[in-house]
Structure formats: structure tokens, C-alpha cells
Amino acid sequence: MREVVVLGVGMTRFGKHPDKGLKELGTEAIWNAVEDANIPPKDIPIIYVANAMGQQLTELRGTIAQHVVSHAGFMGMPVINVENACSGGSTALRSCILEVASGNYDVAMAVGVEKMCIADTARSAAAMAFGTILGKFGFMFVGLYAMNLRRLMEKYGLTREHFAKVVVKNTKNGALNPYAQFRQPRTMEEILNSRVVSDPLTLLMCSTMADGGAAAIVTTRDKAAKYSSKTPITIAACELVSGTPTSADAVHVPIETRASRQAYEKAGVGPEDIDVVECHDAMAPAELLIYEELGLCGEGEAGRWIDEGKTEINGVVAVNPSGGLASKGHPVSATGLAQISEIVWQLRGEAGERQVPNAKIGMTENAGGWVMDDNAACAITILKK
Amino acid sequence: MREVVVLGVGMTRFGKHPDKGLKELGTEAIWNAVEDANIPPKDIPIIYVANAMGQQLTELRGTIAQHVVSHAGFMGMPVINVENACSGGSTALRSCILEVASGNYDVAMAVGVEKMCIADTARSAAAMAFGTILGKFGFMFVGLYAMNLRRLMEKYGLTREHFAKVVVKNTKNGALNPYAQFRQPRTMEEILNSRVVSDPLTLLMCSTMADGGAAAIVTTRDKAAKYSSKTPITIAACELVSGTPTSADAVHVPIETRASRQAYEKAGVGPEDIDVVECHDAMAPAELLIYEELGLCGEGEAGRWIDEGKTEINGVVAVNPSGGLASKGHPVSATGLAQISEIVWQLRGEAGERQVPNAKIGMTENAGGWVMDDNAACAITILKK
């Protein structure tokens, strides 16, 4: 298989875009990526588009990819719609990597786009319901995260203050990100005193619905040099797994752990080599859980890590320098490719005020959906300068 | 790239299954394919599932693939949801071929599944609306087909009788297919006298909504011998394209023609080499259009072809020996893999009473969706004994 690099990335600002639908959001992300890649559009021979909510929340009833890319001016080539809940963007990227790595095509474009901010917010919330028995009783993701966090509190003595510190860090980072939905740094007091959504989670700890699009164009190292003078970013691994059942008698390996172990092995690196991580903190405090699941810190060390600022932009490993989902907003299928965009900018040294010093290896963790008793999907991507 | 073969196929009967949802339909198709392939389930390391309507018509709100395959007992591996309207099944197959051809995996499974027969038929019909301006005015696929057929009538002198003859042939074939929704052969009189849906289309010329699932397992030739004593069926080409814009000044090459030319070139065969075709006759008379678009007959010859029985099971090239969509029913994302199943059975000599004599090379044509002024997607697959 050939080595694949990211040639260009692009995204829209995440947030409420009352004047833009899926086509407009997708087009903006696509053309930002095309411009960043400095590639003639005719050299893009295949496109994957991830979308999760369009059928339920917009007028488009299928082949949303084709509606979006034809609006952006792309027609005729193979166009494939993928969905994997919040992991959709990474899933589209994984497919593009395979197209190029295999030699099937020299270039491929992955797009993730979502329109969630509609007049009736309850419809958007319902569209994210699980499709499980639990979902019927109103048990949604925020409740699931809350239960996991309560477990952490009991097991490792983590406190609400630890959780709030994650949000302090991420909103500080997000304030420096022009693509973020929320750009106001928050204090411990504001976070802890905001309305409880599902104890221990308060409003400012939770990510929000957002409209947005993100895109990435991949190619081979040789071709990259032909198009762009920017540093090509090597995709060292992009591993996708689905959930596994739990049983009372067996140790359940978290989906993030399984995916990241595969990715570390494929990339030939370990967690200690990672300089910057964009992780799927749909509820910001879940970052602490993810530190462990990705092997960044040892068991029970997450609280100390956030206390000691190890995941700050200038820390041991910067986590969510973009501000994470709680600052950026979370337009389901666009999130994974926004994470990729951020890591590419960080590794190129283009992240401006939120630049992680000397970042050479970056990682994204992008999990989504819920089936039986685990996430439906998790994708881990490791990128190298 | 490695040569890829179909190891096993399976499907449910298409039709109304009031007692079965997506999970049950998908599971039945999956296990039929697993049994046909004689493969231990643990040797299937990646699964693609196509579904188009589930978000709108069932309780599942995303990651439908994971819901379906975990119900069938598959968890942990990469599971990817794809959608490409009526071409979804072929799109899932194309991805599986790439996984195996590239060496990424040795085995992959493609599944297409759809639940359309719900209490409120109007909801199912609305779910298939275009997402275009035209769709808002109630302009649906049946109208589009009718307009194309009227054009054929004026251009080549085709008559309603020609159209009815296609249905006579296909319902005769479908009567021999245990997987078909409708198994009653129809006479010219019945077809022409059935209710007009959109002139010149009468009720018996149109395919119906159906519930159903279909699956195919692909691998390499070497691996195939390890699992099964059945004839491995080589996938000589599986080409996917999207629609192109039309303009008054330019000749518009039909999407089926573009896709089939690519497929013929890749497979190293021509239309004259094809023994058996399963084509996407969502309205049965459209078969006549497709004869030309695939190059099976010359321009304006389709009427003579159906008059002379050239596409009967014992004809020059058997078209829709399964009965086609009008007999089988059309569960959107399952249709493409049902076409593949039929061609595999035909090439293996397992098609029973509807067996095409001495079939060595087969083709499927699977088109779907509507964007701007062309189909959103079309996939052509060429299979060889």
C-alpha cells in the first residue's frame, strides 16, 4: 500500500448558520480545502461525504453527498455517502485513504457536513436518539456520559472541579480558534454554577448542536509536491472499530483503547510520542476518561494530569487545542474532519495563537453512536509531520 | 490490485414482512450469505451495510449497520454505513472489493437492507422524494420514467405493447423465482388494462416498495478455495459514477452508458460477450432504454429486441431472469446485492427453473437517486465464471 498524505484541509466556522443549508456548508468546506490543497478541482476523481442528520432535519431525502458536491461544482465521478454517527467524518477519511493507498486513485476528498440548528430544536435532539430500548425512555448521550463520569468520581476520587478544569482549558483554547462556535473563556465558577444538565454535568461542560462542514484532500507524497508547497502531513494510521458487548464476567476493553492500540501499532508509535490530540469530548470532562483510554496517562492519573496542566497547549501533550467539541460545537459528521483539520494546521505550524510548540505527531479520536452497550464506532487517526 | 471473487451470496424473499424489521431482514440475508460462503463468521473482518430509508421509516436513527450486524452476531470490527439511494447495495459491494483487492483485508461482506412496508404508505413514498425543486411539486420517479418512455415512443415508434411485453417476460421469469415478491405471470391484456399510474406506465409496469435484505461475501481466489467448493465468481469490474449536468448545446451521455463503458473496459469484454444481465427496471419498460444504454442493442433496436425475444432466458442475452424489480419488488438498498446474488446463481448454474443456459459472463446495472437533471449514482458490475 502507498503512503498517503493530507494535501489540504478546510472547514466552515461551526455554529448557527441560519442562512446556510447542507449544500452551502459543504461547498464552503470543500472549496476551503481545495484552496488549501492548491489542487485543480478536475484532479479530484472521487469524493466521500459523511452526513448523519440530513434525512431527518433537512429537505434532502438521500444521496446528500451528490446534492452537496454538485452544488460545489463536482459531478460525474464516484460519489459515496457514508454515515457512522459522530465518527462519520473519520470514516469518510478512512475510505479516501484506502482509495489512494491502494492505487485505485491518486487523489480523494473526504467531506463531513451537518445541518442541526433548525427552528425546532426538539426535532434535532430526537434525531440523535439512540434507536435502542434505552433511547425510548429518554436516555440520551448526556446521561450516558454522566454515568461514566460518576463512575470515575467514585473510582478515582475525581471531583466536579477536575471536570470544570477541562472546560477552563478548552474554552481558553477555543477563544483562540476562529472556527469555534463559542469563543469566550470560562471560569471555574461560571462552569460549576451553570445549570445542571445531568449530574455531574453542567451546561458549560456539554457540547452543543451546530451547523458546519469540514473536508480533507488526500494524495500520495509524490503527488503532494506537485500541487502544494505546504508540508504534506503523513497519515500514519486511521483505524476504525465498532463496539463490543459487555458481560459481567469479562473485562470490557473500551472502544477507544482498542482503536488506539491498533493505530499505535500501525503507526509504529506509542502514546508517549504524541504531541497533540484532538479528542471527542462531546461532554468536556470525558476528556479525562479519554486520557486513560488512549494511554496518554496511566490508570487513575487523569485528575493529576488536569491539575498539573499536562494537557495545556504548552503541556506534555496538548489535548484539544482547538477548544474541543464544547467550544467548537459538534456538527456530528463534520467533527472528525474538523479534528483532522486542526491537527494538520498544528503539524504545519499554522495554528496561530493556539499553536502547540514543536508539534510533530498528532492524533484524533472520533467516537460515535450507541449500539447495545458500547459506542457504535470509534476511529483513531495518527498524523505525522 | 488482487483479483476478487464472490464467495457467497444470500437474500431474503423480497416483499411485505410485517413481522420483520431492519435487524431481522439484515440478519437473514447475512446468515444466508455466510452459509452459502461456508465461511466461519470470525473470518469476516469488515462489513459495509447500505440502507437508505431507515432513518425516516424505522426507529433506528443512525449507525443502522451496527444495529443490524450486532443483531446478527457481528461486533468489534470496522462497520461502515453507506447510502447511494437505489445504488446503495452495489456501492457497499464496491467498497468491499476495494478492501480485498488492495490487500487491506482478505474477506469483506456487503449488506443491503431496507424496511419500506410500514402502516403509512404515504410516509414511505415521501421518504423517496427527491430533495429537489421538482420533488416539491410531487414530481416523483414514476413521472420521470414516464417522460423518458414517451420520448422513446416518439423517437423510435415504440408502443405500449412493447412496454407490456417487457412485463410479460419479467413476470414469467419472476414466477420462477422463490425470492420474488410477485410470482404471477401476467398477460398483455392484464398489463395494458391495469390502472394508469403515469401515462404510458400502468400499475403492473411499476416496481413496488418492499422489505428485504441481500448480502455478498467477497475474497481472493486463493482464499475462496479454502472455504467453499462452489465456483468462485470473479468480479471483473464494479464501476460507480455519478450524474452529469445536461445542457441544450451538448450531447448528454446517459449515466448507464458512462458507467458501462468504464466497466467493459476494465473487464476487457464488450456488450456482445454478456450472457445475462440484471438491470434496474424500477419501471419495467425502462429495460428497453437500458438495452441501448448498455450497448446490448443498437440505437432504436430495443423494440425489435423485445419483439424477437432476444432478452428471454433462452435469448441472445437474458435480461432480468430474476423477474427484475417489477416482479421482485424494490427494497431500495437491497436491490443491487439481490442483482449480484442472481448473477452469481446464474453463473454457478444454481438458478433452477430460471437458469440461463451456459451463462459465463453476467452484468448488473444498478442506478439510483436524482440530483439536478440526472441519476445521482449508477454502478455497473461485471461478473465472470
Q: What is the pLDDT of residues B262-295, one digit of tens each?
A: 999 999 999 999 999 999 998 889 999 999 999 9
3-state secondary structure of A164: helix
Percentage helix, strand, coil for chain B under 3-state DSSP, each rounded to 5 = 40, 20, 40
Q: pLDDT at residue A132 above 70? A: no
- Residue B72 to chain A, least CA–CA distance (Å): 12
Nearest CA in chain A to B131: A60
Task: Read off the pLDDT of each residue in A264-283 and give the average, rounded to a whole number.
Answer: 97
- The residue assigned the cell 441472445 is B316
Q: pLDDT at residue A133 above 70? A: no
In Å, how far are B18, B213, B215, B325 from B31, measured between CA atoms? 20, 11, 9, 23
Tell me if B4-120+210-235 shares its fold with B131-206+237-384.
yes
Nearest CA in chain B to A370: B63
- Residue B168 to chain A, least CA–CA distance (Å): 32
CA-CA-CA-CA dihedral for B46, B52, B57, B60, to nearest 10: 30
Task: Read off the pLDDT of each residue in B235-246 and give the average, rounded to a whole number.
Answer: 95
Contacts of B82 in chain A (CB under 8 A): 80-83
* pLDDT score for A68: 97
Q: pLDDT at residue A131 above 70? A: no
ipTM of the complex in this document: 0.96
Decide if B82 and A80 are in contact by the 8 Å CB cutoff. yes
Of residues A86, A96, A279, A297, which has the active-site annotation?
A: A86
Decide if A70 and B368 are in contact by the 8 Å CB cutoff. no
Nearest CA in chain B to A136: B59
A326 or A366, higher pLDDT = A366
- The residue assigned the cell 444481465 is B277
Task: Read off the pLDDT of each residue in B41-65 and give the average, rounded to a whole number.
Answer: 95
Q: Which of A2, A53, A61 to mutate to test the interface with B (most CBs of B within 10 A)?
A: A61
Structure-block grid coordinates of residue A36: 488549501
Nearest CA in chain A to B255: A76
- Residue B303 to chain A, least CA–CA distance (Å): 30
Residues A150, A157: Cα–Cα separation, whole Å: 10
Decide if B369 and A85 are in contact by the 8 Å CB cutoff. no
Average pLDDT, chain A: 95
Contacts of A82 in chain B (CB under 8 A): 80-83
Structure-block grid coordinates of residue B224: 475462496
Decide if B79 and A376 are in contact by the 8 Å CB cutoff. yes
* Interstrand relation of A79-83 and A47-50 (parallel, antiparallel or unpaired): parallel
Orientation of helix A160-174 relative to helix A286-293, angle to 10°: 90
- The residue assigned the cell 469484454 is B269
Q: pLDDT at residue B202 above 70? A: yes
Q: pLDDT at residue B88 above 90? A: yes
Contacts of A135 in chain B (CB under 8 A): 61
- Residue A315 to chain B, least CA–CA distance (Å): 33
Q: pLDDT at residue B68 above 90? A: yes
Cis ω for the linkage preceding B200 (within 30 of 0): yes
Amino acid at B349: G
Average pLDDT, chain B: 95
Residues B119, B92: Cα–Cα separation, whole Å: 29
Of residues B17, B67, B86, B162, which has the active-site annotation?
A: B86
* pLDDT score for A250: 82
Q: What is the largest CA-CA distance in chain A?
A: 57
- Residue A349 to chain B, least CA–CA distance (Å): 32
Residue B46 pLDDT level (bands cut at 50, 70, 90): very high
| Residue of B75, B371, B374 with shortest CB distance to A244 | B75
Decide if A371 and B104 are in contact by the 8 Å CB cutoff. no
Q: Which of B83, B87, B98, B266 to mutate to test the interface with A (most CBs of A within 10 A)?
A: B83
Q: Where are the domains of chain A?
A: 4-120+210-236, 131-207+237-384
Q: Comparing C-alpha atoms, which of A201, A207, A208, A203 is closest to residue A163?
A: A201
DSSP annotation of A283 reads B
Decide if B245 and A128 are in contact by the 8 Å CB cutoff. no
Residue B371 pLDDT level (bands cut at 50, 70, 90): confident
CB atoms within 10 A of CB B285: 30
* Interstrand relation of B107-114 and B212-220 (parallel, antiparallel or unpaired): antiparallel
Q: Backbone phi, then psi, for B232, in 5-degree steps?
A: -70, 135
* pLDDT score for A225: 96
Query: What is the fold of B131-206+237-384?
Result: Peroxisomal Thiolase; Chain A, domain 1 (3.40.47)
- Kindly report the CATH class assigned to A4-120+210-236: alpha beta
A215-228 residue pLDDT tens: 999 999 999 999 99
Helices (H), A14-159: 22-37, 54-57, 64-71, 88-101, 121-127, 133-136, 141-156
* pLDDT score for B328: 96
- Kindly report the CATH class assigned to A131-207+237-384: alpha beta
Structure-block grid coordinates of residue A302: 487523569
Q: Transcribe A185-232 into DSSP letters.
A: ---HHHHHHSPEEETTEEGGGB----BEEEEEEEEEHHHHHHH-SSPP
- Residue B290 to chain A, least CA–CA distance (Å): 19
Q: Backbone phi, then psi, for A292, in 5-degree steps?
A: -70, -45
Q: What percent of chain B has pLDDT over 90?
A: 86
Decide if A258 and B103 are in contact by the 8 Å CB cutoff. no
| Residue of B95, B129, B369 with shortest CB distance to A66 | B369
Q: Comparing C-alpha atoms, which of B198, B197, B191, B196 is closest to residue B147?
A: B198
Q: Transcribe B114-143 into DSSP letters.
A: E----S-HHHHHHHT--SSHHHHTT--HHH
Q: What is the largest CA-CA distance in chain B?
A: 57
Compute the half-sphere exposure of residue B279: CA atoms within 13 Å on the CB side of its CA.
Answer: 29
Decide if B55 and A56 are in contact by the 8 Å CB cutoff. yes
Residues B350, B345: Cα–Cα separation, whole Å: 5
CB atoms within 10 A of CB B184: 12
Q: pLDDT at residue B339 above 80? A: yes
DSSP annotation of B3 reads -
Task: Read off the pLDDT of each residue in B163-184 and give the average, rounded to a whole number.
Answer: 97
Q: Backbone phi, then psi, for A364, in 5-degree steps?
A: -120, 145
Structure-block grid coordinates of residue A349: 505550524
Q: Comparing C-alpha atoms, which of A44, A57, A52 is closest to residue A83?
A: A52
Decide if B95 and A81 are in contact by the 8 Å CB cutoff. no
Contacts of B237 in chain A (CB under 8 A): none
* pLDDT score for B140: 75
| Residue of B52, B70, B131 with shortest CB distance to A60 | B131
Of residues B17, B67, B162, B330, which has the active-site annotation?
A: B330
Q: What percent of chain B has pLDDT over 70?
A: 97
* Interstrand relation of B276-278 and A79-83 (parallel, antiparallel or unpaired): unpaired
Task: Read off the pLDDT of each residue in A225-253 and give the average, rounded to a whole number.
Answer: 93
A139 or B61, higher pLDDT = B61
Nearest CA in chain B to A127: B61
Task: Read off the pLDDT of each residue in B226-255 and give the average, rounded to a whole number.
Answer: 93
* pLDDT score for A72: 98
In Å, how far are A116, A125, A363, B29, B92 from A208, measured between CA atoms? 10, 10, 23, 38, 32
3-state secondary structure of A121: helix
Decide if A99 and B104 are in contact by the 8 Å CB cutoff. no
Q: Comparing C-alpha atoms, which of B57, B134, B148 is closest to residue B333?
A: B57
Q: What percent of chain A has pLDDT over 90?
A: 86
* Residue B86 designated active-site: yes
Decide if A77 and B241 are in contact by the 8 Å CB cutoff. yes
- The residue assigned the cell 449480484 is B340
CATH architecture under which domain B4-120+210-235 falls? 3-Layer(aba) Sandwich (3.40)
* pLDDT score for A117: 95
Decide if A77 and B1 are in contact by the 8 Å CB cutoff. no
Q: pLDDT at residue A362 above 70? A: yes
Decide if B372 and A75 are in contact by the 8 Å CB cutoff. yes
As a whole number of Å, the CA-based R_g of chain B is 19
- Residue B265 to chain A, least CA–CA distance (Å): 15
Residues A205, B240: Cα–Cα separation, whole Å: 44
* pLDDT score for A368: 92
Q: pLDDT at residue B354 above 70? A: yes
Contacts of B1 in chain A (CB under 8 A): 102-104
Q: Comparing C-alpha atoms, which of B96, B94, B122 is closest to residue B109?
A: B96
Residues A341, A117: Cα–Cα separation, whole Å: 23
Cis ω for the linkage preceding A285 (within 30 of 0): no
B159 or B246, higher pLDDT = B159
Residues B146, B257: Cα–Cα separation, whole Å: 20
A173-193 residue pLDDT tens: 999 999 999 999 999 999 999
| Residue of A84, A130, A245 with shortest CB distance to B75 | A245
Task: Read off the pLDDT of each residue in A63-71 and give the average, rounded to a whole number.
Answer: 96
* pLDDT score for B284: 87
Task: Read off the pLDDT of each residue in B225-230 and give the average, rounded to a whole number.
Answer: 96
Orientation of helix B141-156 relative to helix B286-293, angle to 10°: 70
